[in-house]
Amino acid sequence: MKKVFWITFIIVLLDQIVKLYVKSTMTIGQVGFDWGFFRAIFVENSGMAFGKTIPFLPESTAKITLSVFRLVAVVLGVFYIKNQIKKGVSKLFIICASLVLAGAIGNLLDGAFYGIIFSETTRFEVAEFLSADGGYQPFMMGYVVDMFQFTSTWPSWMPFGLGGEEIFPLVFNIADASISIGIVIIVIWQKKLFKNRDKVLAASTSSEIANEDFKKSEINSNSSDVVFKLSNHNFLTVMYEDDYYPNHLVDKCKNVLIELCLALENKDQLSKEAFLSLTHKATEKINTLESDFSHHNSEIETVARENIAEEFALIANTYGFGDIDVEELIANRNW
């Protein structure tokens, strides 16, 4: 989820910086720059992306409906992405989903707060930040700030009345662009992002069987007669050698890794999805130990994180999945 957070954070930050600058320095319809094919022009809208609205609803009703929809979409989006990460979906899909999430958050912030923190912008007056007279709209009723527009036109010989018309006349913002890019990539690369249903069902069944094996493989820290491919390997030596990490908690982390190895024994036909299901289950078990580390004035920070990640990479390589990136193996980590 950290990658999702940073992608979302950076896009929302850029989106809001540009919007705040435009809102606080320009009047409605003012042109900031014009490069011939692309320009910045300040407009506000109460609708969806690219200024679209709900035609069959009154403006106020449509506005609050869209704001609530964005809020629900953001909340559900976070849970959806988290769930997909646990399932081991492709990085490209997670990036695209993050772009859509960031765009929804960016426009949600406009509608939620701009009406409160800014006075009204007109064609003659620039909005005032935290005006003594208050804002121009109540909470969740503010207008979305748009500023970018492509001004290229169709050649004069184009049929259907397109000649001389703008190719893409809509005014948009960074949030709109983020949503559009994410959706377009998903549509174009859907065959790569979404496996066929037979493979998904097979992977799901394989994962369930593997998870049952994981449960059966649980051991305690005193086991000494367990034999597996890495039984001679000394797990987490870096953490054991550092007094910052309590040995009894490092033992618990080691047991999780050994349980993972035992679940993988004799699983020659295990799919990538099923393997990732097991590594994510192991990662989740280590996540639950964070509070224990904190209780002992310790934490799973940089050194521990790298040591644990190295062990996951070793296990993956040992059991025939060395081509999987380590960050994908532990994608659901909280440390």
Question: Which DSSP string do the residues of 150-175 spell out, in sequence order?
Answer: E--B--TT-TTTTTTSBSS---B-HH
Amino acid symbol at 128: E
Looking at beta carbons, which pairs linking 14-17 to residues 24 or more positions away fall under 8 Å?
14/174, 15/102, 15/103, 15/106, 15/173, 15/174, 15/175, 15/178, 16/106, 16/109
Closest CA to 335 of 300, 297, 303: 300
Q: Distance from CA of residue 101 to its chain's centroid?
A: 7
- Residue 146 annotated in active site: yes
Catalytic position from the list 15, 34, 133, 146: 146
Q: From residue 105, how far is each of 112, 172, 178 by CA, in Å? A: 10, 15, 11
Question: What values do phi and psi take at 333, rounded to 5?
Answer: -70, 150
User: Is 176 an active-site residue?
Assistant: yes
Which member of 15, 176, 213, 242 is catalytic? 176
Output phi, psi for 250, to 5 deg. Answer: -65, -35
Catalytic residue IDs = 146, 176
